[in-house]
Amino acid sequence: MRKAMIIFAAMLALFTGQAMAQRTLPGMRSVEVKANMVDGFYTGSARNCGYSFGVYYSVFKGNNAHEWVFGGEYLQTYKSYGEKGRIPVAEFTGEAEYNLHLYSNYTQFFHLYGGISALAGYETVNWGKTLLSDGATLHNSDAFIYGGGVNLQADFYLSDRIALTANLKERFIFGNSTGHCHFSYGLGIRIVMD
């Protein structure tokens, strides 16, 4: 009878979601790589749209799965020039972000976060070249930038250690002369380290 009780208790522990509860625990850390489209959908013929790539490190805090995120991002957009030309604008930024856990399903497969961030970095216009190919002079210059953002992110856990992410983000940038808002959306992969 005692062996049957031990086996029954072990089966309950295995099948009542205990194995799935090992996600977003306090102190867990993860690394995430994201690729985003910026200001529209980028194609070879799109003149203003761009893309971004980022690497992020996050730590879950408390029992409610909120997280701190720290990372860096490279963002490339373009400004239309003339009838067919465009001028590249690149941003290199470091970012600190706090994400509130908004929702997760019972199996911990899906998590939804909303967050705010602060960022700072450097923006270069036409890679520092002020003279354009047609002889015109570019008046926008390179600048140190700062700002913040708001984001919405969904995580889909494939296992306890790997999750696919989808995100929407609006960045507000100041200190530059090329535009202050960038909307981005994209996908990423999160790898939980412990």
Whole-angstrom distance, CA of residue 31 vs CA of residue 139: 39
Average pLDDT (12-37) is 73
Query: For residue range 121-142, what is the model confidence (pLDDT) as tens digits?
Result: 999 988 878 777 776 777 778 8
Our CA angle for 10, 16, 19, nearest 5°, is: 80
Mean pLDDT for all residues in the chain: 86
Give the pLDDT score at 39. Answer: 87
Residues in the chain: 194
8 Å CB contact between 55 and 48: no
Average pLDDT (162-184) is 92
Higher pLDDT, 16 or 106: 106
Q: Lowest-pLDDT range, 46-60, 104-118, 151-165?
A: 46-60
Q: Lowest-pLDDT range, 9-18, 155-164, 170-179?
A: 9-18
Whole-angstrom distance, CA of residue 22 vs CA of residue 28: 9
Whole-angstrom distance, CA of residue 28 vs CA of residue 162: 13
Q: Lowest-pLDDT range, 16-20, 30-34, 78-82?
A: 16-20
Share of the chain above pLDDT 90, in %: 53
Whole-angstrom distance, CA of residue 20 vs CA of residue 95: 30
Check pLDDT > 70 for residue 46: no
Higher pLDDT, 133 or 148: 148
**In this structure, CATH architecture of domain 24-192:** Beta Barrel (2.40)
Average pLDDT (171-185) is 90
**How far is residue 10 from each of residues 4, 13, 19, 87, 159, measured CA to CA in Å?**
10, 5, 12, 64, 21
Give the pLDDT score at 90. Answer: 93
Q: Lowest-pLDDT range, 11-15, 105-109, 173-177?
A: 11-15
The torsion angles phi and psi of 157, rounded to 5 degrees, stand at -80, 120
Domain boundary assignment for the chain? 24-192
Higher pLDDT, 92 or 4: 92
**How far is residue 187 from each of residues 91, 100, 152, measured CA to CA in Å?**
19, 19, 12
Give the pLDDT score at 70. Answer: 98
